[in-house]
Amino acid sequence: MRVLVLAEKQKVAMPFVDAMREKGIRASYLRLLKVSLVSKHNLTLIKALEENIPKYDAVFLQARLSLTPFIEPLLEELTNQGIYVNAKPGSYFIGSNEPYKFVALASAGIKTPRTLVTGSVKNIERVSKKISYPLLAKSFLGKNVQQSIIVNNNKELASIVNSIKSNVDGFMLREFIDDCVVSCIVVGEKIFAITRKINDLCVIDLSKGISYKPTEEEKQNATRAANVCGYDIARVDMVRGRVVNVDPVINIDAFNKVCSEKIEDHIANFFADQILKVGAKKNFTDELRDLKSAFSKTIFSRFFK
């Protein structure tokens, strides 16, 4: 088993590399910024300094959503080469576009705070009547958040609308639920959670949270939210069982401390299982191809058309 851990910083990657090595997996770290894609005609090659990525069975990726323009073609090429990755092609496009992410979650039946999206400032006050205050209001230029503020009534919302002097590409209104935030790390079907209080509309730091045992419904919602966004491993934040954030980057230090866990060990076990599944599937496909080839020369060939 060979796993490449791709991350922006070595200190982020090494806990995962060490955990995988302890499980007997040949794991190594490569700085993400050393990787490049070279396309020529109909062929794309993944190149990296002193590394040959295609020799690996799997890649564990930890990359910010702001790197989407590079990560997406990388995910596509890794998938085409049959290399398992914890994020699927398209996942970073979903994650980096917050309005689309909430539409995707809601369309899949994932519980989220009620959310409305509009492309016109003129529609904001009209659509705001469809959900109750307080609201989290965000304006976007492209995929980037230009303004994010909590509003408590029509007067405050009108003030924000009047303050927007330049064009925006989108506006999102989402119900703001003033309650504890449950932050989860999803690793396949396993969930590790911390509950955090909100003080003055700000969520306290993860390290100051309390270990939390989510309900079965919360576990299911967190796991499905990660999967709908295209991640097998992700951080999911919820309020009253409603998903408010999904992110492919996980910070295990606080979770390990608060939950008394070594989440990197669970990730190592998960990767070992995935590599075995991918290998078994590949072997079955190869055997089926060989069987089809052999029977194509017999009277049974019609069954393989």
Angstrom distances, CA of residue 278 to CA of 28, 186, 268: 20, 20, 15
> The domain 2-85 is classified under which CATH number: 2.40.50.140, 3.40.50.20, 1.20.140.10, 3.40.1210.10?
3.40.50.20
Amino acid 293: pLDDT: 57
Q: So where are the chain's domains?
A: 2-85, 114-175, 181-259
Can you give the pTM of this predicted structure?
0.84
- Position 123 confidence tier, pLDDT thresholds 50, 70, 90: confident
Considering the domain delimited by 114-175, tell me its CATH architecture: 2-Layer Sandwich (3.30)
Long-range contacts made by residues 43-52, C-beta under 8 angstroms, separation at least 24? 44/73, 44/77, 46/74, 46/77, 46/78, 46/81, 51/4
- Position 283 confidence tier, pLDDT thresholds 50, 70, 90: very low
Say if residue 28's pLDDT is above 50: yes
**What dotted CATH number matches 181-259?**
3.30.470.20
**CA-based nearest residue to 232, from 221, 240, 242, 224:** 224
